[in-house]
Amino acid sequence: MALFLAQREDLSSLRSNLAMKLEVLNIQGEKTGKQIDLPEDIFGIEPNDHVLYLAVKQYLANQRQGTHKAKERGEISFSTRKIKRQKGTGTARAGSLRSPIFRTGGRIFGPRPRTYNQKMNKKVKTLARKSALSGKVRAEEVIILEDFTFDAPKTSEYVNILNNLNLSGKKSLLVTGDLDKDLLLSSRNIKKAQVTRATDLNVYEIMNSDCLILSESSIEKIKESFAK
């Protein structure tokens, strides 16, 4: 039994050291002749569908403001006088126009401000991100792009890059190593195109994209984020 456990530990450590090699493209969509290593323990695990579901559900729930509010009976501005006599009318008793049974009355069990935030354990979040990245690699929806930048924001130049990568009309997510304002502004007006930095990458953005574009510098940032 001890020998079996030792062999399994050796196998797990060997897998963690394994790496997948992908071609690096330039902004013209051509191969540069370089290859980059993607760690097996981040980009090559078996995706956990349930953890992905939990991560996406948490992200969408946390986007809700929760500021909805309806006025209840005590918040309606009406006179408190009794609107009709207690008996002899042939109808039900009514003491105030604030009553929810009237059109102008308050709402019964109306929505109140609340928070929809959900919590996830750190290890579950880590597994979800790894599962999302591994799923993209398995589906061959990952492109490695050499680092580039613009001298000034230029939407047409970013459109040309997407066309060169055959991503026109598709949901694309470009992940950069650091914040690049020129790239961010260049993609802001393009439908279905999104730019984010590696430290801000989340499961929903990965799953929602048709193609994940990783810059060379973003690979190291992703490795660092999982090492913490």
Q: What is the pLDDT of residues 111-163, one digit of tens each?
A: 999 999 999 999 999 999 999 999 999 999 999 999 998 989 999 999 999 99
Q: In whole angstroms, give the CA distance from residue 20 to residue 174.
A: 20
Question: Residue 175 burial (CB < 10 Å; 0-12/13-18/19+)?
Answer: buried
* Per-residue confidence band for 47, with pLDDT thresholds at 50, 70 and 90: very high
- pLDDT, position 4: 41
Q: Report phi then psi at 212, rounded to 5.
A: -105, 115
- pTM for the model stands at 0.79
Give the tens place of pLDDT for each residue, 37-46.
Answer: 899 999 999 9
| Contact (CB, 8 A) for 158 and 193 | yes
Region 72-100 average pLDDT: 89
Residue 8 has pLDDT above 60, yes or no: no
Residue ranges of the chain assigned to CATH 3.40.1370.10: 16-64+119-227
- N-to-C CA span, the chain: 33
Residue 18 has pLDDT above 80, yes or no: no
Which fold does the domain 16-64+119-227 belong to in CATH?
Ribosomal Protein L4; Chain: A; (3.40.1370)
- pLDDT, position 20: 78
Tokens for 199, please give them. Answer: 């430290």
Residue 218 has pLDDT above 50, yes or no: yes
Residue 164 has pLDDT above 60, yes or no: yes
